[in-house]
Amino acid sequence: MSISQLSAKLRLSYTRDNWRQLVDEARQAKQDYGSFLVTLLEGEWQLRLQNGQQRRLKEAKFPIKKYLVDFKRDKYDEMFLPKFEELDSLEFIGKKENIILIGTPGAGKTHYSIALGIAACMKGHSALFASIPNLVVELKETMHNNQMSSYRKRFEKYDLVILDELGYVSLDKNGCEMLFNLFSSRNDKASIIINMTIPFRHQRGMKLAWCYIFAVCYTCSGGTGTLHNTRR
């Protein structure tokens, strides 16, 4: 078999597509066999890293692309700057900590959480983004189809789950209980970021949902980091 055929069977995409060019360059540079092999393997490794990043980004289902470098921190109180630095490090994922981002609409919760999620994907972590209203609909459909066990297993596999829009839509008791059970299954296993719109005192109809959410977050052994921007 040829090098291209062997590379295809071994799933060495970089080698399959680039070996001829690399051989020509090695001959011109009079590169020794060991150096040539290192160059070839480094290219293969880099391609796999890139493919892994793209796969994780696709599986995360981010609605838009947002990055930490584009997130403007100057509109927040200086007291939050150290917390931004702490979260930017993504150490909370390794510690399996939960994060709650609290603020009014337009405060930057979704932007920042997506940016953290994308940064996590680029560093090898798996992530999932979902809006809480849509998640509750999925949970009810899953329960109706008796598929909750398999759904919970898929939910647990992610290193980071980002849940958006808590506070935009009122949740009934059944929906809250489903969320509580789903979040409990991740306790001590992986991290959750929850984007919460408007603090407790500004909404009355969401207390039940928030009570369930906080029950999970504050009992998580890793603890909870909280950002709160109420700037109008």
What structural domains and CATH numbers belong to the chain?
3-58 (no CATH), 68-229 (3.40.50.300)
DSSP string, 95-134: TT-EEEEEESTTSSHHHHHHHHHHHHHHTT--EEEEEHHH
Q: Which of 31-35, 54-58, 182-186, 215-219 has the highest mean pLDDT?
A: 54-58
Cβ–Cβ under 8 Å, residues 172 and 133: no
pTM of the model: 0.78
Q: What is the maximum span of the chain, computed from C-alpha positions, in angstroms? A: 74
> Hey, how many other C-beta atoms are within 10 angstroms of the C-beta on 167?
23
Calculate the CA 63 to chain-centre distance.
12
Token couple for 220: 């998580």
Cβ atoms within 10 Å, residue 209: 24
Residues 137 and 115: their CA atoms lie apart, in Å, by 25
pLDDT at residue 212 in the model: 43
Kind plus residue range of the DSSP H or E element containing 37: helix 33-60
Q: Which amino acid is at 194?
A: I
Taking the C-alpha atoms of residue 112 and residue 72, their distance in angstroms, rounded to an integer, is 9
pLDDT band, residue 204 (cuts 50/70/90):
very low
Q: At what angle do helices 132-144 and 173-184 cross, to 10 degrees?
A: 90
Would you say residue 120 has pLDDT above 60? yes
Q: Give the length of the chain.
A: 232
- Distance (Å, rounded) from C-alpha 7 to C-alpha 1? 10
Reported as a single tens digit per residue, the pLDDT across 141-153 is: 888 888 888 888 8
- C-alpha closest to that of 213 among 144, 135, 146: 135
User: Residue 189 CB: number of other CB atoms within 10 A?
Assistant: 12
* Per-residue pLDDT band at 198 (split at 50, 70, 90): low
